[in-house]
DNA sequence: GCGACGAGACGTCACGAATC
DNA sequence: GATTCGTGACGTCTCGTCGC
């Protein structure tokens, strides 16, 4: 009589863990809701910015509105020196440059995703004292314009998938959620800010790289385990068939 | 030798689930 | 609610094989 070799004896088959039984369909849509203040989509710019960043993938870059002759992509380190840097209570950095560019960095997310630049111009102002913020979308859809009363305080009005920003006139009572830096620029230089964002991004990428490696390893082991189990069950099946056949023969001999 | 092709490994992004 | 983790999907690279 044959001995049935079960992989559970060596413990490998019993260690078969079902990773994810059902592979769910993953939709790539990003919900868009209408917000009355300045807003941008989180999911869209990331890929677009990566496409825009040419030779060094992984290095976040800010695409500013450029003049005809100036095509050099500006990254964080080379952007205009901000005159005011604010930090919201959520840790977000908002810098307003001398040229009127508003830069928003979201340290909670990766560098590319969380960086936005708005350019302020004063042309065609329909309201007295108002400033038009030109929001250049990275998708190439054109620019959206927002009217800004007076000057330059950017307020994060909402967070989540659809963060919104309000630009308000600074008053004695700051809007809730906004922390003004003691002296503009003293919190972090743009370089430090960029370094921090880059560092966090690289850390996240490194962790994800390792996780992906681990996940693949796990998946390979799981597949191996399943193949092993198939082999064992086939072997078991074959043995049982032979056993059945032998019993049948024995029964036939006895009845004869 | 060389281009085409498939397989496997890898990095990254996106997103849901789990955890804090 | 924010952060971290796990993983599917996608694109890219490398390597081996095959036909020419």
Nucleotide nearest to A203 (CA to C1'): C4
Q: How many CB atoms lie within 10 A of CB A99?
A: 15
pLDDT at A235: 95
More confident residue, A153 or A193: A193
Bases of chain C within 7 A of a CB of the protein: 1-3, 5-9
Please tell me whether any atom of strand C lies within 7 Å of the Cβ of A206: no
Query: Is nucleic acid strand B under 7 Å from A26's C-beta?
Result: yes
How many Å does it take to go from CA A72 to C1' B5?
Answer: 39
pTM to 2 decimals?
A: 0.40
CA distance to A81, A241, A243, per residue, from A237 (Å): 75, 6, 10
Instruction: Give the nucleotide with minimal C1' distance to the Cα of A222.
Output: C7
Q: Which residue is nearest to nucleotide B14 (CA to C1')?
A: A28
- Whether A200 CB is under 7 Å from strand B: no
In the predicted model, is pLDDT for residue A240 greater than 80?
yes
Residue A98 has pLDDT above 70, yes or no: no
Closest by CA to A57, choosing from A193, A205, A189, is: A205
- Beta-bridge mates of residue A130: A149
CB of A118 closer than 8 Å to CB of A99 = no
Asked whether residue A239 carries a pLDDT value surpassing 90, the answer given is yes
Q: Where are the domains of chain A?
A: 34-253
What is the distance in angstroms measured between the alpha-carbon CA of A94 and the sugar C1' of B19? 30
Strand B nucleotides within a 7 Å radius of protein CB atoms: 9-16
What pLDDT is attached to residue A94?
Answer: 44
Whether residue A17 has pLDDT greater than 90: no
pLDDT in the model for residue A74: 33
Q: Which nucleotide is nearest to A219 (CA to C1')?
A: C7
**Residue-level pLDDT at A253:** 85
**Residues, chain A, total?**
256
The Å distance, CA of A83 to C1' of C13, is: 45
A201-228 tens-digit pLDDT = 889 999 999 999 999 999 999 888 888 8
Q: CA-to-CA distance for A4 and A102, rounded, in angstroms?
A: 72
- Nearest nucleotide to the CA of A201, by C1', is B12
pLDDT at position A188: 60
Say if residue A125's pLDDT is above 60. Answer: no
| Cα–Cα distance for residue pair A83/A91, rounded to 1 Å | 19
Rounded CA-CA distance A107/A93 in Å is 8
Averaged pLDDT score across all residues of chain A:
48
Question: From the alpha carbon of A58, which nucleotide's C1' atom is closest?
Answer: B12
What per-residue confidence (pLDDT) applies to A192? 78
The larger pLDDT score, comparing residue A1 to residue A206, is at A206
User: Taking the C1' atom of C3, which residue's CA lies nearest?
Assistant: A108
The strand B neighbours among A residues 51-90, by Cβ under 7 Å, are 57-58
C1' of B14 to CA of A74 (Å): 26
Tell me the pLDDT tens digit for each residue of A40-80: 223 233 322 333 333 333 333 333 333 322 333 333 323 33
């Amino acid at each position: 009589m044959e001995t049935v070799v079960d992989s559970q004896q060596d413990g490998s088959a019993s260690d078969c863990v079902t990773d994810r039984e059902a592979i769910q369909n993953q939709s790539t849509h990003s919900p868009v809701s209408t917000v009355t203040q300045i807003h941008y989509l989180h999911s869209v710019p990331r890929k677009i910015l990566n496409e825009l960043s040419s030779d060094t993938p992984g290095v976040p870059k800010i695409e500013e509105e450029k003049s005809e002759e100036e095509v050099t992509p500006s990254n964080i380190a080379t952007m205009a020196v901000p005159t005011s840097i604010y930090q919201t209570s959520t840790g977000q950095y908002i810098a307003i440059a001398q040229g009127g560019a508003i830069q928003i960095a979201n340290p909670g997310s990766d560098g590319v995703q969380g960086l936005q630049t708005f350019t302020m111009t004063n042309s065609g102002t329909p309201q007295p004292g108002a400033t038009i913020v030109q929001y250049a979308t990275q998708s190439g859809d054109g620019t959206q314009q927002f009217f800004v009363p007076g000057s330059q305080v950017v307020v994060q009005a909402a967070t989540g998938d659809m963060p919104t920003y309000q630009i308000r006139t600074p008053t004695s009572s700051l809007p809730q959620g906004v922390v003004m830096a003691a002296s503009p620029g003293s919190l972090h230089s743009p370089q430090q800010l960029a370094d921090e964002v880059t560092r966090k991004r690289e850390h996240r990428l490194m962790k994800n790289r390792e996780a992906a490696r681990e996940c693949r390893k796990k998946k390979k082991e799981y597949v191996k385990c399943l193949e092993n189990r198939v082999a064992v069950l086939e072997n078991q099946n074959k043995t049982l068939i032979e056993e059945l056949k032998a019993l049948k023969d024995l029964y036939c001999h006895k009845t004869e």
